[in-house]
Amino acid sequence: MKTLLTFILALSATSVVTAQTFIQGIVTDTKGEALPGVNVFIEDTYDGTSSDGNGNFNFTTTEKGEKTLVVSMIGFHPSAKTINCDGTKQQHSFVLKEKIDQLNAVTITAGAMEASDVKKAVVMKPLDIVTTSGAMGDVIGALTKLPGTSTVGNDGRLFVRGGDASETNIYFDGLQVGNAYGSTASNVPTRSRFNPNLFKGSFFSTGGYSAEFGQALSSALVLNSIDMPLRNQTDLSLMSIGGDFTQTLVGERNSVTASGAFMNLAPYQSIISQNMDFEKAPSSWQAEILGRQKVGKSGLLKAFYHTEHAKVSVNQEQPGTDEVLTTSINNNYNFGNINYKQALDNGWSYYGGVSASFNQDNIGINGTQFKLTNTLNHIKGVIVKDFSDRLSVKNGLELYHSTYKEKNETSQQERSFNENTYNHFIESDYYLSKNLVFRAGLRSTYNTLLEKIWATPRASLAYKSGENSQVSFAYGQFKQLAKPEIRIQKNDLGNSESSHFILNYLYSKKGRTFRTEAFYKSYENLIRYDSASSRNLYGLNNNGSGYAQGFDFFYRDNKSLRETDFWITYSFTDSERNLNNFESKVTPGYAPKHNASVVMKRFIQALNSQLGFSYSWNSGYNYHNPNMAGEMQSTTRDYNNLSISWSYLPMPNLIIHFECSNVLGYKNEFGYQYATQPNAQGQFESLPIQQVADRFLFLGIFWTISKDKNANQLNNL
């Protein structure tokens, strides 16, 4: 009995008599500051402790022999060393190096505006596209309320910093979209083709952008589709101009969103008078499907297809004659995109895909029929290697195949060309510290039509100048070939070139963002011609040059006023270039000098409503008046547009949305069209280029049906 007791007592007391190793030390960061709360432990045991307020730690262990002592702390690289647990008292000190991650590292913001829900320096949120008054649910409509852009009301496309609309390329999940805007008659504004609800975010660059993108002199807009929707749901919308049905099905590892929509402005135009004589009001139907499949641990495969058919016919008076120009357009459009991304171990990741765009316009101009066909295929593969949290390198290959054909169906004449371009880009980000980052890139291209090879360098850096502020700088060279409609007339036209210099300052503190940017762009080898007649340009050459310079301000605040989010922007653009067949350098019509906008949204709980307004102003558009000496010497009156919107939520899954653009009915003009020949008095007669209608009214009902009772329209506000 006694022996048993002794034995058991001895057994339970083993730990007491075992020799213990006493470990103590201190943990500091690279600046020598003590780190409190660091986890210090012997690997694969429970033995360990946390460092105290002075970075000191001590603990004992009963382990024996060689063991690994690990120190780890959130935000720092862990450190480890082998120790010998020999029952002695030991001293171990550690210096931890701070991790550089998305949260604490400076990001390059020169020329870049990212729409993201998570980033702190919010210039734009993904939802802004749907909720900005006056944007009318068009991605581009919302972007024109941001710094560096100008509203060109008779065009509808994106004009960035003195560049024309063709200088901006649009990408869908990294792959280029051909003919991203709907086809339209001249002076009838267009819209971008894709439903804004498809996207979770976007990256909009007003210059100096990454080597990943090329063949765009001014700007790149990258739209990223939603990876995985949350639930099965049906969305129905009924609008004053059409309807839309969307079904989303979500599985464990895959999902699909399919939608069909139609739009017809005829009923609307029969009630509300238009300034333009539409023979056939714009109408269209479209279908879209987006599928996603998770692959393995981190792979995601997405496939998207969009098809669209649109029609419009408009009669336009011509100055100086009684003649009416009738333009009718029949557009067929298809876009497909398959892409894949995956993160591998050891810092490797890759992404890439294939996209195909097909656009066909059947255009009738006073009875003469033209058929224009564009195709663009884009194949891209990119490998990214993060060597550490400080250095990453991106390496990509791209192949573009494009064709363009135009045919005069009345005279049966046709012409066409096609080309391949092979591109390689390499870009590296290097963080000297979390406060300073450098980026350098090079894009190289070989074009089969020109049989030429060229390279364009890009570089940028960003420095965190304070807790909430940063400065960044971007430089880049950009080349772009002329539009296919021009190059088909002279195949060997070379690249136009632009160099960008951008300096950016950003201050951002919880709910408030201030951003200012100054830029200079040079333009070389711009396209010029000697004379024009109908679609033909004579004496085409690459001898043009020019510049654009200016600055902009942006302030956004969702903090100061209760339940209110607002932003204010101002952009100054000074731009001159050799344009078309002008002798001197002139300011183009699409580059107003002063641009400003104010956007505000406020949720009023008592009304279950979100009210919003946006006000855009610019100092007028330049135009050429042949009755006066000089070139492009005249400017229209100021542009003004006050838009209001009201979203009413009677229940969580229903929104009734009302919107009115240009409420005050301001008679905006975008320039003047002059007769080609002077009249008997020697004067060129003119007609103003006006808005299609003084106001645009929109009423829509959006209804979400889901078994999941939590589905609601809140995220559409």
Partner 1 sequence: MKKTVLTFAILIIVVTSSIAEIINPYEKAMKAQLALLDSAQTIQEYQAVANSFERIAQKESNEWLPLYYAAYSYINIGFDKSLTLDQKDTYFNKAEELLKKAETLSANNSEITALRGYAVMAKLAADPASRGQSLSPVAMQLFGKAIQQNGKNPRALYLMAQMEYGMAQFFGSGTEKACSMAKKSVFLYENESIEGINPYWGAEMAKEMTTKCK
Q: In the complex with partner 1, which residue's Cβ is closer, 74 or 680?
A: 74
Quick check: 608 binds partner 1 (CB under 8 A)? yes
Site string for partner 1, 654-693 (x = CB under 8 A): ----------------------------------------
Shortest distance (Å) from residue 710 CB to partner 1: 4
Q: What letter does residue 157 receive in the DSSP assignment?
A: S
Letter for the amino acid at 377? N
Nearer to partner 1, 561 or 664 (CB): 561
Is 351 an interacting residue with respect to partner 1 (CB under 8 A)?
no
**Contact code string over 65-104 relative to partner 1, x by CB under 8 A:** -------x-xx---------------------------xx
Q: Of 91, 80, 176, 196, which is closest to residue 136 (Cα–Cα)?
A: 196
State in angstroms the smallest separation of the CB of 75 from partner 1: 6
Q: Which of 34, 127, 379, 393 binds partner 1 (CB under 8 A)?
A: 127
Q: Is 295 in the site for partner 1 (CB under 8 A)?
A: no
Options 122, 220, 223, 502; binder of partner 1; rule CB under 8 A: 122
Q: Which stretch binds partner 1 (CB under 8 A): 33-41, 378-386, 579-587, 675-683?
A: 33-41
Does position 714 interact with partner 1 (CB under 8 A)? The reply is yes
Angstrom distance (rounded) from CA 312 to CA 333: 15
Give dist(CA 14, CA 17) in Å, integer.
5
683, 627 in Cβ contact below 8 A?
Answer: yes
| Angle at 426 (CA atoms; ends 424, 432), nearest 5 degrees | 175
Q: Is the CB of 41 or the CB of 623 nearer to partner 1? A: 41
Q: Which of 278, 269, 187 is nearest to 687 (CA)?
A: 187
One-letter amino acid at 296 equals G
The interface region with partner 1, picked from 35-43, 326-334, 419-427, 590-598 by CB under 8 A, is: 35-43
- The answer to whether the CB of 454 falls within 8 A of the CB of 441 is no
251 binds partner 1 (CB under 8 A): no
| Among 24, 28, 50, 293, contact with partner 1 (rule: CB under 8 A) | 50
Q: Which of residues 615-654 bind partner 1 (CB under 8 A)?
A: 649, 651-652
Distance of closest approach, residue 59 Cβ to partner 1, in angstroms: 11
The minimum distance between CB 260 and partner 1, in angstroms, equals 24
Write the CA distances from 2 to 8, 126, 512, integer angstroms. 10, 78, 77
Residues 28, 35: Cα–Cα separation, whole Å: 5
Both tokens assigned to 118: 């998570």
CA–CA distance, 161 with 570 (Å, rounded to integer): 12
105, 431 contact by CB (below 8 A): yes
Counting Cα atoms < 13 Å in the Cβ hemisphere of 688 gives 12
As measured in angstroms, the least distance from the Cβ of 38 to partner 1 is 8
Q: DSSP character for 547?
A: E
∠ CA 709-712-252, rounded to 5°: 65
CB 456 within 8 A of CB 481: no
Judged by CB under 8 A, the chain residues 508 through 537 that form the site for partner 1 are 510-511
The verdict on 25 binding partner 1 (CB under 8 A) reads no
φ, ψ for residue 260 (rounded to 5)? Answer: -130, 140
Establish if 120 lies at the interface with partner 1 (CB under 8 A). yes
Closer to partner 1 by Cβ: residue 513 or 618:
513
Under the binding rule (CB under 8 A), the answer on residue 707 touching partner 1 is: no
| Cβ burial 285-309 (10 Å sphere, 16+ → b, else e) | ebebbbbbebeeeeebbbbbbbebb
Residues in contact with partner 1 by CB under 8 A are 1, 5, 8, 11-12, 36-39, 41, 43-50, 53, 72, 74-75, 103-104, 117, 120, 122, 125-127, 230-231, 510-511, 558-559, 565, 605-606, 608, 649, 651-652, 708, 710-712, 714-715, 717
